[in-house]
Amino acid sequence: MCGIVGYTGAAPAEPILIEGLSRMEYRGYDSAGVAVQQGEAIEVVCRKGKVSELAHTLEHFDLDGTCGIGHTRWATHGKPSEANAHPHTSCAGDIAVVHNGIIENFAELREALIGRGHVFKSETDTEVVAHLVEEAYHRLREAGTGDLRAAVAEAASQLVGAYGLAVMAEGEPGTLIVCRKDSPIVVGRGEMGSYVASDIIAMIDATRDVVVLADDQMASLTAEGIAYFDMDGNPLEPEVTHVDWDIDVAEKGGYPDFMLKEIHEQPRVIRDTLAGRLSGGALTIDELDMTPAELNLIDRVYVIACGTSYHAGLIAKNLIEGWARIPCEVEVASEFRYRNPIITPTTLVVAVSQSGETADTLAAIRDARVRGAKVFGITNVVGSPVARESDGVIYTKANKEIAVASTKSFLGQVVSLTLLAMLLGQSTGRLTGGQIKLLFSELADTAEAVERILAECGPAVEEAARAMVDATSALFIGRGMGAATSYEGALKLKEISYLHAEAYAAGEMKHGPIALIDENFPVVAIATDSPVYDKVVSNLQESRARGACIIAVATEGDEDIAKHADHVIYIPKVRDAFSPITASVPLQLLSREVAVLRGCDVDQPRNLAKSVTVE
């Protein structure tokens, strides 16, 4: 997610902005920029890539102004580039804006602004804000009826979507106006002046007494102080929060570990991954750089990946074959690279990797390309080797994942692969426009379902975790989409709690694993509403008859399941195709809870690394 910083005070702004942006680097970004008030002018410097590259570029500028704003951007509208990096400016360059969030009605605003003579320099949604503020600011100033604060309020009133904004104008040197809706903005006073950021971590060295703006609140920052307003300009007395976290906790956003923080980021990941993908009723993934006709030629898909990313592939297989009717194989990259897979020029290889640098996945990509396949990468890291070496890339908008166990990246991968399956269905003509729209809207609704799971299923997860904490082994079972989900559930549990776990397609129970079952062997079943629900329940009964403690993840309203399970974790109903998105979340929470109860280091499990760059 993007990051905002701003400062106005007695000290030069540039080093403060760079320090704040560096502190937010962990969130992930693809470009960075600052705008500093130099005398009466606003100087803007942006760079694609790292904050350190921006800092290096700034060494060639002599910026000593004491008021400025800065931003790290993760592309949503428009590719990562210098032109699309924030701050964005008005036609005359006298207004500079940084923005977090997504402005949903930007296309119509942009068209109207162009119609009124505005000239755009970027492809971003944000730039409309600079032009809207420009119009309002000059009109209000000429009429003597308003200032920059009023102009920002007027501009914000036209926006649909989410925004955290920081704005400055040449006409009001030393002033920063900030406001928010559904995107965080924090302000605070330090010894050297006034600070704003989208994340407390960016200003924690300057002050620990902060005001977290609520939606539809604004603040006007000057070197002398901060004034708070509602969007109509009425003064407010906001509540000051004292932050007593150390830096480590601040980075965790108040959560006890990164894994829990990252699990809670998943509704945002779903929304960001879907943003901008449906336009005019059609799905577009421009980054893949293939026409519908080229996509239509694909007659075989391989998904290659390792670990959790491989499990995302297992989920995708069902969707690609179901919606596009194209045969799809999912293979661990370390196997794929050493065999002789059947690849033709009409084969599509989809390489999935959170880090974008997993050695086996990279080797498999190279091998597939040599054999003539088209390769799509799905990765979380902009500019990573997987992104660079693939023909096209979809970025999962998870932001940097710090906990070794992948959670939000996994969900980003599943959502991205779901979009790819829909795109293939669309280009083969197997999914109609109406079906695409319906699927997309139900997919978008999973964000809210995950939000509810995070808010409501804590007690049930804790109860289930206590029931399995002393076990030495656990079995995860499911069928169909539930089978794919159960593989990921078992991996998550074993890697962070060191409790041995295995996953089986539930229909396989009688072919061997049932011999293991006794009262010390908990069974976690994915028993959500699906065409194979009754079959899963039969498998539960078989396990229960042998004394197993049953933990079921089931759909809200399914009271019957309580007769077959010792513990039930209820989740909202979603389409079966999307059930891995929701059902994975309680399994992530369950693994973490078991790991905590067993005293394990949740974020850094033994023997594991975040990125596996060796074979």
Hey, what are 377's tokens? Answer: 């990468």
What secondary structure letter does DSSP report for 287?
Answer: G
Q: How many residues bind ligand F6R (CB under 6 A)?
A: 14
Tell me: does residue 555 bind ligand F6R (CB under 6 A). Answer: no
Q: Which 3-state string (H, E, C) describes 177-223? A: EEEEECCCCEEEEECCEEEEECCHHHCCCCCCEEEECCCCEEEEECC
CA distances from 351 to 79, 271, 298, 317, 484 (A): 21, 22, 16, 13, 18
Active site residues: 2, 610
Provide the minimum distance between the beta carbon of 309 and ligand F6R in the complex, in angstroms, as a whole number.
4
Provide the minimum distance between the beta carbon of 416 and ligand F6R in the complex, in angstroms, as a whole number.
12
Tell me: does residue 257 bind ligand F6R (CB under 6 A). Answer: no
Nearer to ligand F6R, 178 or 364 (CB): 364
Q: According to CB under 6 A, which one of 194, 198, 358, 418 is a site residue for ligand F6R?
A: 358
Q: According to CB under 6 A, which one of 31, 194, 361, 591 is a site residue for ligand F6R?
A: 361
Looking at beta carbons, which residue is closest to ligand F6R? 307
Nearer to ligand F6R, 189 or 592 (CB): 592
Is residue 20 within 8 A of residue 213, CB to CB? The reply is: no
Nearer to ligand F6R, 37 or 355 (CB): 355
Q: According to CB under 6 A, which one of 318, 396, 406, 591 is a site residue for ligand F6R?
A: 406
Residue that has been written with the tokens 């640098």 in this structure: 357
Nearer to ligand F6R, 6 or 605 (CB): 605
Using DSSP's 3-state secondary structure scheme, residue 72 falls into strand
Tell me: does residue 485 bind ligand F6R (CB under 6 A). Answer: no
Q: Which 3-state string (H, E, C) describes 575-590? A: CHHHHHHHHHHHHHHH
Tell me: does residue 486 bind ligand F6R (CB under 6 A). Answer: no
Provide the minimum distance between the beta carbon of 140 and ligand F6R in the complex, in angstroms, as a whole number.
51
299-318 footprint of ligand F6R as x/- string (CB under 6 A)? -------xxxx---------
Nearer to ligand F6R, 91 or 612 (CB): 612
Nearer to ligand F6R, 37 or 361 (CB): 361
**Helix extents (H) in 73-174:** 106-115, 127-143, 148-157
Beta strand 163-169 pairing with 217-221: unpaired
Which range touches ligand F6R (CB under 6 A), out of 88-96, 349-357, 368-376, 575-583?
349-357
Beta strand 88-89 pairing with 95-100: antiparallel
Which range touches ligand F6R (CB under 6 A), out of 169-177, 355-363, 438-446, 470-478?
355-363
Nearer to ligand F6R, 21 or 365 (CB): 365
Which range touches ligand F6R (CB under 6 A), out of 130-138, 179-187, 352-360, 548-556?
352-360
Q: Identify which of 580, 512, 523 has the alpha carbon closest to the alpha carbon of residue 547.
A: 523
Q: According to CB under 6 A, which one of 251, 495, 576, 593 is a site residue for ligand F6R?
A: 495
Tell me: does residue 384 bind ligand F6R (CB under 6 A). Answer: no
Q: What is the DSSP string of 346-379?
A: TEEEEEEESSS--HHHHHHHHHHHHTT-EEEEEE
Q: According to CB under 6 A, which one of 354, 485, 530, 579 is a site residue for ligand F6R?
A: 354
Q: According to CB under 6 A, which one of 107, 223, 469, 612 is a site residue for ligand F6R?
A: 612
Distance CA 514, CA 496 (A): 25
Cis check for the bond before 238: say yes or no (omega within 30 of 0).
no
Provide the minimum distance between the beta carbon of 608 and ligand F6R in the complex, in angstroms, as a whole number.
7
Hey, what are 486's tokens? Answer: 């159960």
| Residues forming a β-bridge with 145 | none
Tell me: does residue 364 bind ligand F6R (CB under 6 A). Answer: no
Distance CA 477, CA 434 (A): 34
Provide the minimum distance between the beta carbon of 366 and ligand F6R in the complex, in angstroms, as a whole number.
15
Tell me: does residue 3 bind ligand F6R (CB under 6 A). Answer: no
Tell me: does residue 272 bind ligand F6R (CB under 6 A). Answer: no
Q: What is the DSSP string of 446-475?
A: HHHHHHHHHHH-HHHHHHHHHHHTT-SEEE
Nearer to ligand F6R, 402 or 467 (CB): 402
Distance CA 39, CA 485 (A): 58
| Residues forming a β-bridge with 476 | 503, 524
CA distances from 16 to 6, 7, 69, 70 (A): 8, 7, 10, 10
Nearer to ligand F6R, 489 or 513 (CB): 489
Tell me: does residue 353 bind ligand F6R (CB under 6 A). Answer: yes
435-474 footprint of ligand F6R as x/- string (CB under 6 A)? ----------------------------------------
Tell me: does residue 591 bind ligand F6R (CB under 6 A). Answer: no
Tell me: does residue 603 bind ligand F6R (CB under 6 A). Answer: no
Q: Identify which of 583, 489, 566, 487 has the alpha carbon closest to the alpha carbon of residue 529.
A: 583
Tell me: does residue 584 bind ligand F6R (CB under 6 A). Answer: no
Hey, what are 314's tokens? Answer: 């297992």
Contact residues toward ligand F6R (CB under 6 A) are 306-309, 353-355, 358, 361, 405-406, 495, 611-612
